[in-house]
Amino acid sequence: MYKLRSLNLSLTVGREAAKRGVKCFVELSTGMVYKPDSVPSKENDKLKPWSKIAIFKLQAEEELAKIEGYVSPGGSISHQGEERKSLPY
């Protein structure tokens, strides 16, 4: 169920957004993709998904990052054949 409603849905919508030239596509993830700790996680902390939904959310992030023009949660944009570039906040 999580794979269908989280991973597949995110990838389908993300690919369609890219195909249609959508300027802004926001994919929401979860803090459960980070290793559990007693302090709040940061964007570059170690990833260790600890729930089923977190596993599929992380997979969605990784697959979406391969789509041309996709901006990752960390603020990087994906361009084929180029390095990922950080975007200012």
Q: Where are the domains of the chain?
A: 2-36+46-77
Q: Which residue has the higher pLDDT, 78 or 65?
A: 65
Which pLDDT score is estimated for 12?
Answer: 92
Residue 5 has pLDDT above 70, yes or no: yes
Computed over every residue of the chain, the mean pLDDT equals 76
Residue 53 neighbours by CB under 8 Å, 6+ apart: 2, 6, 30, 32
